[in-house]
Chain A
Amino acid sequence: MVNLKNYNVGIKFFVLFLTFNLTLSCSQQKLYVTKVEGREIGITDKNTGVASIENFIKPYRENIDKDLNAPLAYAPQTLDKNGQWQSTIGNLMSDVTLAKCNPIFLSREKKPIDICLLNHGGIRSIIGLGVVTARTAYEIMPFENTAYVVALKGEQILEMVNYIISEKKPHPLSGMTFTIGKDNVAKSIMIQKKPFDINATYYVVTSDYLINGGDNMNFFKKATAKYDLDYKLRNVLIDYFKETDTIPLINDKRINVE
């Protein structure tokens, strides 16, 4: 009996020993890097596309094309974002955004929107002469920006005006007009055709990007209230195109210079 016990222990150790060594020398054999090569390969039309992948994409593409290429409106002239203090596409976008968002805000909060301010940089394309489609809206606004209304005190409205004057960019602006005096200070500020009141609270529709500090429009950060309209700015445009036959050329001056 004693001899047999000892024998068993001997076998166990032997098996353990073998396993330990097999692990060391086989499955956990350490590998060391001897050489590394790195390069970048451009994907060009020299690579003939894989047919199965191409065929898989096709129905998705055709469905989008059918939708995006459908004519919605007609532009008798090209609208673009060029200009000193305003642009033709900027005037259209800010007017349309104010007009389309106002009924939503009125019904939810029982207050009208006074001003629309968007950013010049957010306009990524033009409305070209000819047929206007949903694709036009995607090209102008590829981002998923959403319309927000913020409540701003008179003081922040002045900061907004000073921002516009110092930036010297044709940011889309609607609902407000002012004149830049010879001293580079704003005067005759009118909001919804009424004189600006420093003690009033104004409601401004803009994008989520801008109220979160985009383009350094920091006056939006001092908003006393914010309202998410759950309405994408691109969909504002698409809805407008759908109900419009001919895209107008809007040239009324929002900012005058003495």
Chain B
Amino acid sequence: MERREFIQKTAAGTALVGLGLSLSSFKTVATKHLTILHTNDVHSYIDPFPPTHPKNPNMGGVARRAALIESIKKENPNVLLLDAGDVFQGTPYFNYYGGELEFKLMSMMQYDLATMGNHDFDNGIDGFYAQLPNAKFDFVSANYDFKNTVLNGVVKPYKIFDKDGIKVGVFGLGVELEGLVDKKNYKETVYHDPVSVSQDMVRILKYEQKCDLVICLSHIGYQYKNEPDKICDLKLAALTKDIDLIIGGHTHTFLDKPTVVKNADGKDVLVNQVGCYGINLGRIDFYMDSDKSKSAAGRSIVV
């Protein structure tokens, strides 16, 4: 295979040189760097916690988060900014403005994509839809079937980004709504099993769309110790393949560092979640190379 590719490229190169062009810019081995920044379960926490707060004194705050994102973008402009759901509900900002301020601020911070959490249905699916004009970013959800709702065709299963030549496919997953969200709020939204949906997504993103990175933006929860059969990010990571990163939410899990899980192929998947209320920002840096040998020899995960 490699020899054939070499011959083809040589032939094409020769042909181009003959036409007075050069292939050198394409043939250079590319090294690229993508920084993924993420939040989850911010729950309308816009102001920082007061200095007197017993648990999180002086932590969080949207204006400070914006400053941190800006400083990281100065270091590496190739950033993908994601949120794993439950943007809504938790402070009077939501009760008063129904999510308008949350979406406007996320747009100002240049969020690229988010997935839907259960609390994003708290003003009903219509309440969420009504606020979407304030969001300059998209929402994705692959396992909620919105066919018979206002979100049909609005919230798509996945989105593909070209980040400095890195093709990144991001799909969304949501938690089971029955028993968690009032039916009158989620209406005709149909929940599907995250594992089979993820296998479908990977087939599309990795094999049909040929994405370099596949990211799952999940609100199914990190782990349920008392319900070992319930699907969660750790189980999803182990049961699937070809997902590079799972960014999670829902369980408000604070991790000391991202978790590395072996997938169905025995390869490493990173699973991360950064607590809640905008207290932390997650950062995952991917370094990519067009030279496969470098990846095979030394793919390293530093957490």
Contact of A36 among B91, B270, B278 (CB under 8 A): B270
B287 at the interface (CB under 8 A from A): yes
Provide the bound-state CA to CA distance between A39 and B257, in Å: 6
Q: Which of A29, A36, A43 is the most central at the interface, judged by chain B CB atoms within 10 Å of its CB?
A: A43
- Binary interface profile of B, 84-124, with partner A (CB < 8 Å = 1, else 0)? 00000111110111000100110011000000000000100
A138 at the interface (CB under 8 A from B): yes
For B294, list chain A residues within 8 Å (CB): 32, 34
Residues of chain B in range 154-186 having any CB-CB distance to chain A below 8 Å:
165-167, 179, 182
A243 at the interface (CB under 8 A from B): no
Residues of chain A in range 41-76 having any CB-CB distance to chain B below 8 Å:
41-45, 47-54, 56-57, 60-61, 63-64, 67-68
B193 at the interface (CB under 8 A from A): no
Indicate if the CB atoms of A43 and B93 lie closer than 8 Å.
no
Contact of A49 among B63, B90, B280, B302 (CB under 8 A): B63
For B26, list chain A residues within 8 Å (CB): 22, 25-26, 29
Indicate if the CB atoms of A30 and B212 lie closer than 8 Å.
yes
Q: Which chain A residue lies CB-closest to B180? A: A212
A37 at the interface (CB under 8 A from B): yes
Q: Which chain B residue lies CB-closest to A48? A: B67
Q: Do A38 and B302 form a contact, CB below 8 Å, given A21-B9, A53-B63, A57-B46? A: yes
A159 at the interface (CB under 8 A from B): no
Indicate if the CB atoms of B60 and A34 lie closer than 8 Å.
no
For A50, list chain B residues within 8 Å (CB): 63, 66-67, 70
Main secondary structure of the interface of B (DSSP, over half): mixed
Interface size on B, residues (CB 8 A): 83
Q: Do A43 and B68 form a contact, CB below 8 Å, given A18-B15, A32-B290, A32-B291? A: yes
B292 at the interface (CB under 8 A from A): yes
Q: Do A33 and B27 form a contact, CB below 8 Å, given A48-B64, A63-B96? A: no
B288 at the interface (CB under 8 A from A): yes
- Binary interface profile of A, 119-161, with partner B (CB < 8 Å = 1, else 0)? 0000000000000000100100010100000000000000000
Residues of chain B in range 16-70 having any CB-CB distance to chain A below 8 Å:
16, 23, 26-27, 30-32, 46-48, 58-68, 70
Indicate if the CB atoms of A40 and B286 lie closer than 8 Å.
no
B279 at the interface (CB under 8 A from A): yes
Q: Which chain B residue lies CB-closest to A208? A: B182
A4 at the interface (CB under 8 A from B): no
* Shortest CB distance B67–A (Å): 5
* Shortest CB distance A37–B (Å): 4
For A56, list chain B residues within 8 Å (CB): 104-105, 108
Indicate if the CB atoms of B289 and A34 lie closer than 8 Å.
yes
Q: Which chain B residue lies CB-closest to A144? A: B122
Provide the bound-state CA to CA distance between A68 and B280, in Å: 28
Q: Which chain A residue lies CB-closest to B100? A: A60
A249 at the interface (CB under 8 A from B): no
B244 at the interface (CB under 8 A from A): yes
For B67, list chain A residues within 8 Å (CB): 47-50
Provide the bound-state CA to CA distance between A49 and B89, in Å: 23
Contact of B284 among A22, A36, A53, A68 (CB under 8 A): A36
Q: List 11 A-B contacts (CB under 8 A).
A: A31-B32, A34-B295, A34-B299, A39-B283, A43-B61, A47-B68, A48-B67, A53-B105, A57-B101, A138-B92, A213-B179
Given A34-B31, A43-B64, A53-B66, 18 other A-B residues pairs in contact with their CB atoms under 8 A? A25-B27, A30-B292, A33-B295, A34-B287, A34-B289, A38-B270, A39-B303, A40-B257, A41-B283, A44-B64, A47-B65, A47-B71, A49-B64, A53-B109, A60-B96, A64-B96, A68-B92, A213-B179
